[in-house]
Chains A and B, each alone.
Chain A
Amino acid sequence: MSKKTLIPIGPYHPLQEEPELFKLYCDGEIVKDIKWETGYNHRGIEKLSESKTYEQIFFLVERICGICSNSHPFAFANAVEEIADIEITNRAKYIRSIIGELERLHSHLLWVGLAGHFLGYNTVFMWAWKYREPVLDLFEMISGNRNSYAMFRVGGVRRDIEAIKIPAIHKVLDDIKKKTDLLTGAIMDDPVIHARTKGVGILTKQDIIDYGAVGPTARASGVAIDVRKDDPYAAYPLVNWKVITAESGDVFAKAEVRLLEMYESISIIEQCLDGLNKEKEGDITIKVKEIPEGIGNGRAEAPRGEVFHFVQSDGSSSPVRHKIRAPSYVNIATFKKSCIGQTIADATISLAAVDPCYCCTERMAVAYDINSGERIMNANELINESAKKTNEIKNTFNSQI
């Protein structure tokens, strides 16, 4: 048997903001196997939830994940409203969708930035995060906080979006559209990015179906799965939009899907804002007296894919059972397909392409010699490895010119 090297990434290292351990088993530069360990972010949320009232759980599920801090309350609200058979007002539906799509905007911008960072393009990272700031300002204007918006409650939303705030939202959206054009142009036309991402980390349609992957990961491989279309909720059936898919399933396709989805998000928000004008101001919540006995399934499309919440109620003020499944939980399993057979430098971006969210799932990655157990690489070196490859490609292009 040839000599293999184990590269551990994590649990605490700069590649991932969250703790999680990936172990890459390498033969020379080729990744032969990958294993991952989680549990560094286990907080016992499902158990905690059984000791809280329904109103309190919204604040708890919001803190499952800070980036998709709206998707979990969204799915939970859908589940509880299914139990209690509540139909919320149209205005509340529009507000829910606006918050959901603004979140997708900021999350995809964040991903574009991080992907740039992993490829060795720190400028893309800085730019994308700069363009993300106005979205966070909108959140601050609407909800009072940049993250963790606390907008949801059973039977509606907590805060209204008054007519006076709408022009400011339109202005930011117009601005972001221009910035997205710029980013899309920069990424789609760059020959170096093409060379680094095309044909890297490919997931075929069959892989997606086998692993049950969801969200942009699945859509980039031509599987048009989107909870907003498949099981419509909130205002999504009331507006016109389309599911973005790509065919090739590589890292480039995943970036393409995310960038094009941002345009869809902007269009959904604009239509929802028009819808808000038609509804009576302040009509955002209906009174819910009690949650009856029963079970409810709630789904929502988070920026990373389908969030699923199962709630069982016995008629008291707290649920008996609350089960949560986050999109990264299924998407992380696809690493087995996307990383094996790649070089170490490409593994970094392949891991990042799924946009794994460990606080949702829990997570980490490092390099050890499989025979001696000797550590050969740390995370920084891994990013450097990736940046080095980009530079080499860049130089090749430059020398051709």
Chain B
Amino acid sequence: MGFKNYCFKKSLWVFHFGGASCNNCDIEILDCLTPRHDLERFGILLVGSIRHADVLLVNGSINTRDKERLIEVYNQAPKPILVVAIGACGCTGGYFTESYTFAGPVDKIIPVNAYVPGCPPKPEAIIAGIIKLVQNS
């Protein structure tokens, strides 16, 4: 295990990028932090700036307007950064693949480390995704 990967073992700080989403995934991500699931006991914290983050959560289909901003956010992130695509829209584009504003699923725009499918994924699924991410990084 290299030093960089060792850093990912504890206290992941998460920045949340909501693309053109329906809010369901956003709410379920927040739900992970509230008392029933309480991801904060593992040191996982939602932060306000990408410059503090270890993980970039992307959810929602990415439209033409979001695309350049997603690339900018990714470029600002301290590397290495783990990118997680949450929900059907983040993984593939979901129901909005045929939309005229659709600018490609997340992995066509920036490299993605993990996918959590579901519409929306349950908090348990998001937690399972993060555990796999930590174990495999």
Select which of B20, B26, B36 is within 8 A of A66 by beta carbon.
B26
Give the Cβ gap from B118 to chain A, nearest Cβ, in Å: 9
Question: Which bracket fits the contact residues of B?
Answer: 35 or more
**A130 touching B35, Cβ below 8 Å:** yes
| B34 at the binding interface (Cβ < 8 Å) | yes
Whether the Cβ atoms of B26 and A17 lie closer than 8 Å is: yes
CA gap between A259 and B101 in the complex, in Å: 38
B61 at the interface (CB under 8 A from A): yes
Q: From A39-47, A262-270, A276-284, A331-339, give the one contacting chain B.
A: A39-47
Kindly identify, within residues 230 to 265 of chain A, every residue whose CB is under 8 Å from any CB belonging to chain B.
Answer: none
- Bound Cα distance from A110 to B31, whole angstroms: 10
Q: Are B17 and A65 within 8 A (Cβ)?
A: no
Cross-chain contact of A42 among B17, B26, B63, B119 (Cβ < 8 A)? B63
- Cβ-neighbour of B22 out of A42, A51, A64, A127 (below 8 A): A64
Among B23, B61, B65, B119, the residue within 8 A (CB) of A65 is B23
Contact B122 A146 (CB under 8 A): yes
Given contacts A40-B66, A47-B100, A67-B27, are A380 and B21 in contact (CB under 8 A)?
Answer: no
Q: Which residues of A contact B17 (CB under 8 A)?
A: 12
Taking the nearest CB of chain B, how far is it from the CB of A103, in angstroms?
A: 12
Q: Is the CB of B24 within 8 A of A66?
A: yes
Residues of A within 8 Å of B99, CB to CB, are 43-45, 47-48
The smallest beta-carbon distance between A105 and chain B, in angstroms, is: 15
Chain B, residue nearest A384 (CB): B48
Contact A129 B61 (CB under 8 A): no
Task: State which of B34, B69, B100, B101 has its C-beta within 8 Å of the C-beta of A11.
Answer: B69
Decide if the interface of chain A is mainly helix, strand, loop or mixed. loop
A42 to B96, CA, bound (A): 11
Instruction: For A133, give the chain B residue with the smallest CB separation.
Output: B36
Contact of A184 with B by CB under 8 A: no
On chain A, the residues within 8 Å of B101 by CB distance are 42-44
| Contacts known (A42-B65, A129-B35, A148-B119); A359 close to B100, Cβ less than 8 A | no
A355-387 near B? 1/0 per residue, CB < 8 Å: 001010000000000000000001110000000
B interface SS class: mixed
Q: Which residues of B contact A11 (CB under 8 A)?
A: 69
Contacts of B120 in A (CB 8 A): 66, 146-148
Smallest beta-carbon distance A224→chain B, Å: 28
Q: How far is the CB of A110 from chain B (nearest CB, A)?
A: 7
Give A26-67 interface residues, CB cut-off 8 Å to B.
Answer: 39-45, 47-48, 51, 59-60, 63-67
The B12-35 residues at the A interface (CB cut-off 8 A) are 16-28, 30-31, 34-35
- Residues of B close to A48: CB separation below 8 A: 95-96, 98-99
Smallest distance from the beta carbon of A387 to chain B beta carbons, Å? Answer: 13
Bound CA–CA A148/B119 (angstroms): 8
Q: Complex Cα distance A385/B132, Å?
A: 37
For residue A385, give the distance in angstroms from its CB to the closest CB of chain B. 13
CA distance A279 to B100 in the complex (A): 45
Q: Is A14 an interface residue (CB 8 A)?
A: yes
Please report which residues of chain B, range 67-106, place their CB below 8 angstroms from some CB of chain A when the two chains form the complex: 69, 73, 94-96, 98-102
| Closest Cβ neighbor of B61 among chain A residues | A43
Q: Are B18 and A60 in contact (CB under 8 A)?
A: no
Pairwise interchain contact A40-B30, C-beta atoms closer than 8 A: no
Identity of the chain A residue whose Cβ is nearest the Cβ of B36 in the assembled complex: A133
With A12-B73, A39-B65, A51-B98 as known contacts, state yes or no: A147 contacts B27, CB within 8 Å.
Answer: yes
Q: Which of B24, B25, B102 has the most CB of A within 10 A?
A: B24
A18 adjacent to chain B (CB < 8 Å) = yes
Chain A residue at smallest Cβ distance from B96: A43
A178 to B30, CA, bound (A): 24
B49 part of interface (Cβ distance < 8 Å): yes
Q: Are B48 and A41 in contact (CB under 8 A)?
A: no
Complex partner residue of B23 from A13, A66, A125, A380, CB under 8 angstroms: A66
Known contacts being A12-B18, A43-B96, is A378 close to B34, with CB within 8 Å? Answer: no
B30 touches A17 (CB 8 A): yes
Give the chain B neighbours of A357 by CB distance below 8 A: 23
Interface residues of A in 87-144 (CB under 8 A from B): 110, 125-127, 129-130, 133
What is the distance, in angstroms, from B17's C-beta to the closest C-beta of chain A? 6
With the chains together, A378 CA to B63 CA distance in Å?
24
12 additional A-B pairs beyond A47-B99, A51-B98, beta carbons within 8 Å, are: A11-B69, A12-B69, A17-B16, A17-B27, A19-B20, A40-B65, A48-B96, A65-B22, A66-B24, A66-B26, A147-B27, A359-B20
Nearest 9 CB-CB pairings of A with B: A66-B24, A380-B48, A66-B23, A129-B34, A17-B26, A44-B99, A130-B35, A66-B22, A63-B22
The 12 listed contacts between A and B (C-beta, < 8 Å) are A13-B48, A42-B65, A45-B99, A126-B34, A129-B34, A130-B36, A133-B31, A133-B36, A148-B119, A357-B23, A378-B49, A379-B48
- Interface residues of A, Cβ cutoff 8 Å to B: 11-14, 17-19, 39-45, 47-48, 51, 59-60, 63-67, 69, 110, 125-127, 129-130, 133, 146-148, 357, 359, 378-380
